[in-house]
Structure 1
Amino acid sequence: MSTFETRLTELGISLPEPVAPVANYVPFVRTGDQVYISGQVSIGPDGLIKGTLGLDMDVEAGQAAARLCGINLIAQLKAACGGDLARLKRVVKLGGFVAAVPGFTDIPKVINGCSDLMVEVFGDAGRHARSAVSCPVLPLGAAVEVDGVFVIA
């Protein structure tokens, strides 16, 4: 078991089966040593977390939704690595999208739910560049969606 797999276990995280695409795209693309993972929505064992930050969700609930996005990114990454997370060299960039009301300005705090997870699991290799933006609605009514770029061996 890789150090990253051990860390997931220590954190009490069981990776789900990677979520299948809901439209005409693939879950990830490998090109050279880079993996581009399509946006992963806030879905977990209890289903899709829906909502709008600043309306029916607070920052803490948004962070939990973003963390689920991160878990789903890691599940896709594992699939892209042929099942071996030890191949990860670096989390390069995350793009975070938050369904929010106009005037909601804590978008970065929400996406920290995913960013913090990457550092918890991957240590310094999990530190990344990032964007965090709001939008009025996300696919399927999801509260949060995050995509990512990773370097693997």
Structure 2
Amino acid sequence: MTRTHLKKLACVLALCASGTASGIDFYNKGNEPGRPFSLAVRAGDYVFVSGQLGTGPNGLVKGFDAQSRQAMDNIAAILKGFHLTMDDVVKCTIMIADMAKWADFNKVYASYFKPERLPARSAMGANGLALGGEVEVECMAYSPRR
């Protein structure tokens, strides 16, 4: 076996020994029935949070800033289900329906992180988000299994 194959095998074995039979945990607390995705998935030391829109208990909130805050609040709530916080986020991907609002989103986004602890990030314009949303945010968090 090559060194690369051994590293891959070590990763697979670590996942299998990480707490569930497959090493993967699916989180769906609060997900609406019939949605064909998990709100988050833990695979080994990483938690992948599905893209979150600015939806609250009554559906999509009104206004770009409000949707931005609600999307970030949704991510924080999902992370809490894994006993994580925004401090554990290492990567985010942002989709914005109107890139002219990128600076507005940055103001909201930055308020969720410590200035010295900003995750890696990508942002892109999107032509049409689910439910007519103006912004969608997905994140990846790092949390070594203990």
TM range (shorter): 0.5 to 0.7
Select the structure of larger CA radius of gyration: 2
Q: Indicate the residue corresponding to 1:116 in structure 2.
A: 110
Q: Indicate the residue corresponding to 1:77 in structure 2.
A: 79
Per the alignment, do residues 41 and 126 of structure 1 end up closer, same or farther by CA in structure 2, a change over 3 Å counting? farther
Q: Indicate the residue corresponding to 1:152 in structure 2.
A: 143
The residue type paired with residue 69 of structure 1 is: A
Q: Is the 8 A contact 1:67 1:113 kept in 2?
A: no
Q: Indicate the residue corresponding to 1:141 in structure 2.
A: 132
Q: Provide the rounded CA distance (Å) in 2 between the counterparts of 1:41 and 1:125.
A: 26
Query: Are residue 90 (structure 1) and residue 88 (structure 2) matched?
Result: yes
The percent identity for this pair of structures is 30
Query: Are residue 41 (structure 1) and residue 60 (structure 2) matched?
Result: no
Per the alignment, do residues 90 and 98 of structure 1 end up closer, same or farther by CA in structure 2, a change over 3 Å counting? same
Deviation at 1:124, TM superposition (A): 5.8
Q: Provide the rounded CA distance (Å) in 2 between the counterparts of 1:89 and 1:145.
A: 20
Q: Provide the rounded CA distance (Å) in 2 between the counterparts of 1:137 and 1:38.
A: 17
Deviation at 1:152, TM superposition (A): 1.8
Q: Indicate the residue corresponding to 1:10 in structure 2.
A: none
Per the alignment, do residues 42 and 34 of structure 1 end up closer, same or farther by CA in structure 2, a change over 3 Å counting? same
Q: Indicate the residue corresponding to 1:20 in structure 2.
A: 31
Per the alignment, do residues 66 and 89 of structure 1 end up closer, same or farther by CA in structure 2, a change over 3 Å counting? closer
Query: Are residue 62 (structure 1) and residue 64 (structure 2) matched?
Result: yes
Please list the CA deviations of residues 28-47 of structure 1 after superposition, one character each: whole Å capped at 9, or x if unmatched: 11111110000010113553
TM-score, normalised via structure 1 length: 0.63
Higher relative contact order (CA 8 A, sep 6+): 1
Per the alignment, do residues 29 and 126 of structure 1 end up closer, same or farther by CA in structure 2, a change over 3 Å counting? farther
Q: Indicate the residue corresponding to 1:29 in structure 2.
A: 41
Q: Is the 8 A contact 1:67 1:117 kept in 2?
A: no
* Length, aligned pairs only: 116
| Structure 2 runs not aligned, ≥5 long | 1-28
Deviation at 1:114, TM superposition (A): 4.8
| Structure 1 runs not aligned, ≥5 long | 1-17, 51-60
Deviation at 1:149, TM superposition (A): 0.5
The residue type paired with residue 40 of structure 1 is: Q
CA RMSD of aligned residues (A): 2.7
